[in-house]
Structure 1
Amino acid sequence: MTNLRKTCEEEPCKVIIPLPEEFDLRVNLGYLERNKNECMYEVENNTITRVIAIGEIQTLVQINVNDKNQMIVHFLAGKPCETTDVIRYIREWFDLDNDLTPFYQMANADPLLKLPVENFWGLRLIGIPDLFEALCWGVLGQQINLNFAYSLKKQFVEKFGESMEWEEKKYWIFPTYKRIAKLTPIDLADIKMTVKKSEYIIGIAQLMASGELSKKKLREIGDFKDVEKNLIKIRGIGPWTANYVLMRCLRFPNAFPIDDVGLINAIKTVLTMDRKPSKDEILKLSIPWRNWESYATFYLWRILY
């Protein structure tokens, strides 16, 4: 893989990833630390510690950034450091291969995006590379506030996920679709989500376990609208959840959850409106964002949370 250097002479093994100029550790950590119930990683002293699971392989890593604008990835436990899959995951997680120069040029001239770009310059659209995790997070977040969504995710992960221990701390791994596919809604009854959401998540897991649904298959479809339609066919996945997954997992730059409450409230806040903007108004405001709708949405979300 390009832009990657490994040093394994000393333990723990580490990899150095040169970062794009448009990367600011502070604002990215600010996003990652936005909720105390986040259970998929720990941020402490500007260092991220988490397990990255790719298939059956689980690797515990620590990630920080040095003063040379390089991301340093230390491999603490699990799969040896010669794998490039973990680095590929991290690059995708932080969207490091996306040149944001055109986005910033557009946003700096846009009355709606100018403020969020000034406040959060260097923020990447932090993704969810695992499709099952992204779909579950989308379902869990439907029609509830962000704090409650994080609480549900924490309950779900700690009940059905595996974990790795390092220096007397436990690091959680998102439940696999293979495990969830074997459950019934009764098994999820202790988690304070609706029965419908339990059914949706189990149904998604079963589709993935059967091979009918996968990230690879969705990417092979290619066309944005066709992928969106395929996602919406899945029980429990509406336009909002589909576009959320298209943004944060499948990385379509034009994904646009236009009916999102957070997006609507962020626009209202930035423009100091005394009412919520209509869908037609949002469509008009978003004309300059063409092919950057996902980043525009993500930056506007940061105004509120």
Structure 2
Amino acid sequence: MQWSNHGSFIEIYPPKEFNFDECLVFLGRSQEEVLHQIRDGLLYKLINVNVELILCRIGFVQHVIHVDFPIRPLSMTSDEEIVAYIWEWFDLDQDLSIFYEVAKQDKILQQIHKRYYGLRMMCIPDLFEALTWAIMGQQINLTFAYKLKQRFVEHFGECLTFEGNTFWLYPTYERIATLGVEDLITLQFTVRKAEYVIGVAEAMRNGELTKEMLLQEPTYLQAQKSLLGIRGVGPWTADYVLMKCLHYPDAFLITDVGLHNALKAQLGLERKPTIEEIKEMATNWEGWQAYATFYLWRSLYE
């Protein structure tokens, strides 16, 4: 991580393959998003560092990420932990130059990678958020998934208000582990999804599941297997978490409807490609399936 402290603000120096505006396009794709706000080219994000709520205002000037703090407690909270969160959120450790070399050789990614150059995987650093958000999104459309998340966050999350705007923090697993299934059913969760979300919260509260444990798995397949052992987690959910939270560039959501729609559009097909056809298309993406998928997702909202 490269950064510097300037008293009232922090500057973060990203790799040259970084396009803040492209990242904002992805982050701004839903009007229902409740965990960040974009206004006048600035990104507002409430984060929890050492049980302190900090409102970050993130901008970008001359290839420098500028972060100041409209709300920050007068304490000894480490700037390094704030930087670490933002660095991970924007996936700045990933060497995209390697992905771009792969993309240049592929007929599907050839133009897309140029069009969205510098777009980073917008990650979900918190394992509980990544897992439960993926569970919420199972077998429903994205609009309704965002509605569920909004209700979930506004009922059980913490918030701060600044200049008349309310900024929300995703609920903690400690809080959700105290709930009963009926508490989520009232928000229009199905019984099964309510059980799965509370089950993940209980496993994390009991120390049976942590991000550190998953990161210590020696391979992608072993990390995937551990996730598949969680009730309510199937292959799509496991790979979503591996992609967005655990930073596996080879995680592959091969059954994802958005990926299928993007490939259909990019290739001018009359039908969605089959799984076997996608496997064949993806032979050139080896090691970078997650980024190939993410860039294809981006092509859906021109």
Structures share fold, TM-score greater than 0.5: yes
For residue 274 of structure 1, report the CA deviation from its aligned partner: 1.2
In structure 1, C-alpha distance between the alignment counterparts of 2:181 and 2:104, rounded to whole Å:
48
Matches of residues 266-277 of structure 1 in structure 2 within 5 Å? 266-277=262-273
Deviation string 1:197-248 (CA, Å, 9 cap, x unpaired) is 1110000000000000000111112311111011011110000000000000
* Aligned residue type for 2:30: N
Alpha carbon RMSD of aligned pairs, Å? 1.3
After the TM superposition, which of the residue ranges 168-177 and 17-26 deviates more from structure 2?
17-26
Matching residue of 1:6: 5
1:48 maps to 43
Residues 273 and 34 of structure 1: CA distance in aligned 2, closer, same or farther (over 3 Å): same
How do 1:132-147 residues align onto structure 2 when only pairs under 5 Å count? 132-147=128-143
CA distance in 2 between counterparts of 1:162 and 1:180 reads 13
Shift of 1:83: 2.8
Q: What letter is aligned with 1:233?
A: G
More deviation, 164-173/195-204: 164-173
> Which residue of 1 is the match for residue 24 of structure 2?
29
* 2:161 is equivalent to residue 165 of structure 1: yes
Q: What's the counterpart of residue 12 of structure 2?
A: 17
Aligned to 1:244: 240
**Aligned ranges for residues 1-305 of structure 1 at < 5 Å?**
2-8=1-7, 13-54=8-49, 56-66=51-61, 68-79=62-73, 80=75, 82-305=78-301
The 1:300/1:237 distance shift into structure 2, 3 A limit, reads: same
**Which digits, 9 at most, give the CA deviation of each residue in 1:255-304, with x for residues without a partner?**
00111111111111111111221111111111111111110010111122
- Distance, in Å, in 1 between the alignment partners of 2:232 and 2:137 is 12
Shift of 1:55: 5.0
* Cα offsets for 1:15-72 (capped at 9, x unmatched): 1011221111221111110000000011011101111124523211100001x20000
Deviations for 1:121-172, whole angstroms, at most 9, x for unmatched residues? Answer: 1110110000000001100111111111111111110011010122222100
Q: What one-letter code is carried by the residue in structure 2 that aligns with 1:286?
A: A
Structure 1 residues 242-251 or 148-157, which shifts more? 148-157
Give the 3-state SS of the residue equivalent to 2:179 in structure 1.
coil
| Identity percentage of aligned residues | 42
Q: Deviations over 1:154-199 (max 9, x none)?
A: 1110011010122222100000000000101111122122111111
Inter-partner Cα distance in structure 1 for 2:33 and 2:266: 27
Q: What is the number of equivalent residue pairs in this alignment?
A: 299
SS state of the match for residue 221, structure 1? coil
Matched position secondary structure for 1:157? helix
Which residue identity is paired with 1:129? P
Look up the SS of the partner of 1:154 in the other structure: helix
Q: Secondary structure at the match of 2:187?
A: coil
